[in-house]
Amino acid sequence: MKRAATYHKKLSASTENLSRVRNFVSSQAKKHGFTEDQINDIRLAVDEACTNVIKHAYSYDDTKQFNVDLEFDSTALSIEITDFGIGFNPSKYEVPNLQRRIKQKKRGGMGIFLIQNLMDELTYDSDGDKNVIKMIKYRN
């Protein structure tokens, strides 16, 4: 069996880096044979996950850093985004009600919902020191 290809990127928690992460993930996914539609899904899911880290885990503190790790194998792309900030509690997550949010002039809270729809698997792991969001997109 062919060995998996892995890629790693460490970034500071600035929204300026979002386009950099998108380009990094998209170009690697393209190189590894993912379709245009799959790449669109992956690009948005990664953007949403990194935006959550920058905004919620680190409150836009760009002295903090997070990691993006990609692993391609014959069946899938696995993406892990690791931060060392404030953890996200998935049990408190609710599916966004757009109408209610508009009335309350609230924005945000839609990232996780999008990731769930765009990727095949989503898991979240927090051990107190670090938080890891893992997303998988299958080739077929």
Footprint of other proteins (CB under 8 A): 15-16, 18-20, 22-23, 40, 43-44, 47-48, 51, 54-55, 96, 98-99, 101-103, 105-108, 110-111, 113-114, 117
E-strand ranges in 13-130 read 65-72, 76-83, 121-126
Give the list of residues 6+ apart from residue 89 with CB closer than 8 angstroms, or none.
none
Nearest distance, CB of residue 63 and other proteins, angstroms: 17
Considering beta carbons, is residue 74 or 99 the nearer one to other proteins?
99
Compare residues 23 and 75 and give the one whose CB is closer to other proteins: 23
Please state the closest distance from residue 136 (CB atom) to other proteins, in A: 19
Cα dihedral: 61, 65, 86, 14 (round 10): 40
φ, ψ at 28 (rounded to 5°): -70, -40
